[in-house]
Structure 1
Amino acid sequence: MAKGDDRDRRGGREGRGSRPLPQGDAFYTPGAGRLRREIERRSAVPLVWLHQAPRWILPTCMAGVFLAGLLLSGPLGALLLALLALFFSWLAFLAWPSLRTGERAMRVVVIGVLLVFGVLQSGAV
């Protein structure tokens, strides 16, 4: 890299607002089983992309999907809420080994509430 070049090794601009990755020795859960290792491996790129995105993108998109899921009745609203529950389930699965009991319970409750809202939106009840 030439001196004075403002591009980092990943090809992005330093001043663009990208955040450095968290410190640590391992990206994967030590001693994990085959399924967890494979899911973590396949999740690495999306997680790095989410981490490098501007901080407002994820909460804004999640709030938009949640509100659209509540406002749109029928199968479309149910699908949006189910997709949001699936996204939260994916994040909960990845974080599960490092969470305490209360944190795990909160994630299960949030996912359950989203699924209940989805069933109510579908008109199946």
Structure 2
Amino acid sequence: MFGHPVAGNRNHPPILAPGVPGPDGRTLILVNTEKPSGTRAAVERWSAAPLVFLTRLPRWVLLAVILALVAVGLVGSGWVGAAGLLVLLVLLSWFAYLSWPGLGMQGRILRIAALVLVAAFAVDHLL
């Protein structure tokens, strides 16, 4: 295990080393080992703490949040539905941006299609 802090928090527990199973049995796999620079490095640094938080939650929690946002977006009308879909769009965009370097062409196309679809539904609610 690595002993370095996450996002400057020295009290944070260590992060799993690649290939070492964690307490819940999941294993961290490095896909892209190149050092990011510029904006990507800043986004990855900013995302470290929220991603650690999300990985510590039970898996069903994130699924429930996404399903709730989809339900609000589809059932809600006007600004309420659009707001739910826009929050979902931001969340999915964040995940897509972080996973982009390790994706093949098919994965990139599917993520773009999902983002365009959610954005189209959000715009439809506003019109």
Structure 1 residue aligned with 2:93: 89
Structure 2 unmatched runs, 5+: 1-11, 14-22
Which structure has the larger Rg over C-alpha atoms?
1
Structure 2 residue aligned with 1:37: 41
Residues 25 and 112 from structure 1, CA distance in 2 versus in 1: closer, same or farther, beyond 3 angstroms? closer
Percent identity for Structure 1 against Structure 2: 31
Counterpart of 2:53 (choices 43, 49, 56) is: 49
Counterpart of 2:120 (choices 116, 121, 125) is: 116
Counterpart of 2:27 (choices 4, 22, 27) is: 22
TM-score between both structures, scaled by the size of structure 2: 0.76
Root-mean-square deviation (CA, aligned residues, Å) is 2.2
Counterpart of 2:109 (choices 105, 108, 113) is: 105
Structure 2 residue aligned with 1:78: 82
Does structure 1 conserve the Cα–Cα contact (< 8 Å) formed by 2:85 and 2:118? yes
Counterpart of 1:62 (choices 66, 70, 76) is: 66
1:67-101 CA distances to partner (integer Å, 9 max, x unpaired)?
11111100111011011011100000000000000
* One-letter amino acid matched to 2:69: V
The separation in 2 between residues aligned to 1:80 and 1:88, in whole angstroms, is 12
Residues 119 and 53 from structure 1, CA distance in 2 versus in 1: closer, same or farther, beyond 3 angstroms? same
Structure 1 unmatched runs, 5+: 1-8, 11-17
